[in-house]
C-alpha cells in the first residue's frame, strides 16, 4: 500500500507546492501530451463545506490557483462533523465571488478558467455518513464525476483531494469495479492520486483495504495540530511544510492582489530556468556545477538565489556543502566518496524583489556513483 503521512492542515498548500515542483512537472510533461503550458494536473475536491469555515477558506485559496490545476469537480459531501447535510450552495456563493474577479485575474494569467465552466462542475455526494451511504444503486452526481474523470482518455493523473469524508470516492471506486474488468479497473486506478485530511468517515479505511495499490496520502487521526514560528530547530513529518511557508503565503498574497490590480501594479513570480539537466550522474570526489543562467522575472525585478542540498529527499543523509557562496546563480559542489550509488537533491530557490516577494524553485537530483 502506498500510504504517506503528511501535515493535514497544510494539504492544500502542499498541493500548491507540488504544482511548482519542477522535478515532478518535468516528468509529467515528458510522458503526457498536455496543451503547451496548460495545467499539468487534474483535480476533484470532496468537501464537507459548512462543517466548519476552513473548507470555504480552502476553496477561496484553490480558486486563486485555478490557473495551475484543471479543476474537474467540486463535490459537496458529509463527514463525521456533519453527517446528514450537504451544502453545495456555499460552493456556489464562493464561485459567485470568483466570477466577479476572474476578468481581472486573466490579466495576470490567461489560464484562469471562466467561472461558468467551474459552476458546471459542482455536484453532491450522498446526504448521509460513511459506508452506510454507499452501495449498489447509490451513485450520485459526485461519484459519477469521479468515475467519468477516471474513464476519460486524458492521460494526466487525477488528484482527488478530500477535505471531509471520502465516501463519495468509495462509491465511485465500487461502481468502477462493478462495471469494468479487474485489469481495466487497475489501469484506470493507476491514474488516481488521493490526498485526504485525516479519516473523516469510516470509508477511508475501507478504500485502503479494498484497493491496496491505490496512491493514497493520509494523516490518520492526527489533523488539527497548530504550528508556531520560532528559532528552534524541529524535525518530524509535521514540520516539513514550515520551510516553505513564507513563500507560499506571499504567493497567496500576490494572487489576492491579482483579483483587483492591473498587471503593472502587481508582482509576478520569477521564471526559473536551469542551464543544465535536472538529473545528473557524477562520481565520488567529482566537482560539479549547477547553473540557473537564463532565469528572468516578468516584471524585470532583480533576483536573489539560494542553492541548498535538500537532504530529507535524497538517500545521502550527510549534507554536501557548497564551494563558495551559495547565493549566486551558479553553484559548485564536490561529491563525497560513496561506497554505493546515492542520490542527493539540490534545491534552487529564486526570490524576486517585488512586493510581496515571490519565490520559485527548481530541483536537481544528482546520483553519486562510487569510484
Binding site for Ca ion (CB under 5 A): 48, 55, 163-164, 267-268, 297, 299, 301, 352, 354
Least Cβ distance, residue 92 to Ca ion (angstroms): 17
Least Cβ distance, residue 210 to Ca ion (angstroms): 23
Closer of 80 and 104 to Ca ion (Cβ): 80
Q: How far out from the chain centre does Cα 220 lie?
A: 19
Least Cβ distance, residue 358 to Ca ion (angstroms): 6
Least Cβ distance, residue 275 to Ca ion (angstroms): 21
Least Cβ distance, residue 152 to Ca ion (angstroms): 27
Closer of 113 and 354 to Ca ion (Cβ): 354
Closer of 15 and 163 to Ca ion (Cβ): 163
Closer of 69 and 254 to Ca ion (Cβ): 254
Cβ atoms of 354 and 299 within 8 Å: the answer is yes
- C-alpha–C-alpha distance, residues 129 and 85, integer Å: 9
Least Cβ distance, residue 154 to Ca ion (angstroms): 27
Closer of 241 and 254 to Ca ion (Cβ): 254
Q: Which H or E element spans position 309?
A: strand 303-309
Residue carrying the nine cell digits 477511508: 204
Cα-only R_g, the chain: 22
Closer of 11 and 118 to Ca ion (Cβ): 11
Amino acid at each position: 500500500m502506498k500510504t504517506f503521512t503528511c501535515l493535514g492542515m497544510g494539504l492544500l498548500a502542499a498541493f500548491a507546492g507540488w504544482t511548482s515542483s519542477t522535478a515532478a512537472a518535468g516528468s509529467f510533461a515528458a510522458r503526457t501530451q498536455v496543451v503547451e503550458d496548460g495545467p499539468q494536473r487534474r483535480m476533484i475536491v470532496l468537501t464537507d463545506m459548512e462543517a466548519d469555515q476552513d473548507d470555504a477558506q480552502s476553496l477561496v485559496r484553490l480558486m486563486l490557483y485555478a490557473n495551475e490545476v484543471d479543476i474537474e469537480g467540486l463535490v459537496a459531501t458529509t463527514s463525521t462533523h456533519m453527517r446528514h447535510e450537504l451544502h453545495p450552495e456555499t460552493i456556489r456563493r464562493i464561485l459567485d465571488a470568483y466570477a466577479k474577479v476572474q476578468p481581472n485575474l486573466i490579466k495576470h494569467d490567461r489560464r484562469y478558467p471562466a467561472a461558468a465552466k467551474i459552476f458546471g462542475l459542482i455536484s453532491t455526494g450522498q446526504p448521509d455518513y460513511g459506508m452506510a451511504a454507499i452501495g449498489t444503486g447509490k451513485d450520485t452526481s459526485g461519484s459519477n464525476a469521479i468515475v467519468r474523470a477516471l474513464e476519460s482518455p486524458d492521460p494526466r493523473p487525477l488528484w482527488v483531494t478530500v477535505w471531509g469524508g471520502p465516501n463519495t470516492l468509495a462509491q465511485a471506486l465500487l461502481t468502477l469495479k462493478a462495471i469494468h474488468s479487474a485489469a481495466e479497473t487497475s489501469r484506470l486506478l493507476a491514474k488516481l492520486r488521493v490526498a485526504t485530511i485525516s479519516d473523516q468517515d469510516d470509508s477511508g479505511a475501507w478504500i485502503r483495504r479494498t484497493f491496496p495499490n491505490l496512491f493514497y496520502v493520509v494523516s490518520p487521526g492526527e489533523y488539527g495540530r497548530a504550528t508556531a514560528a520560532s528559532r528552534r530547530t524541529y524535525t518530524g513529518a509535521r514540520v516539513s511544510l514550515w520551510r516553505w511557508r513564507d513563500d507560499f503565503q506571499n504567493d497567496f498574497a500576490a494572487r489576492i492582489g491579482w483579483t483587483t490590480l492591473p498587471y503593472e501594479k502587481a508582482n509576478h513570480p520569477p521564471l526559473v530556468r536551469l542551464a543544465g539537466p535536472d538529473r545528473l550522474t557524477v562520481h565520488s570526489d567529482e566537482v560539479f556545477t549547477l547553473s540557473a543562467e537564463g532565469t528572468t522575472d516578468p516584471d524585470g525585478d532583480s533576483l536573489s538565489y539560494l542553492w541548498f542540498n535538500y537532504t530529507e529527499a535524497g538517500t545521502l543523509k550527510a549534507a554536501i556543502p557548497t564551494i563558495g557562496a551559495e547565493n549566486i546563480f551558479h553553484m559548485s559542489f564536490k561529491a563525497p566518496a560513496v561506497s554505493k550509488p546515492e542520490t542527493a537533491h539540490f534545491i534552487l530557490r529564486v526570490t524576486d524583489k517585488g512586493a510581496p516577494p515571490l519565490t520559485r524553485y527548481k530541483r536537481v537530483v544528482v546520483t553519486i556513483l562510487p569510484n
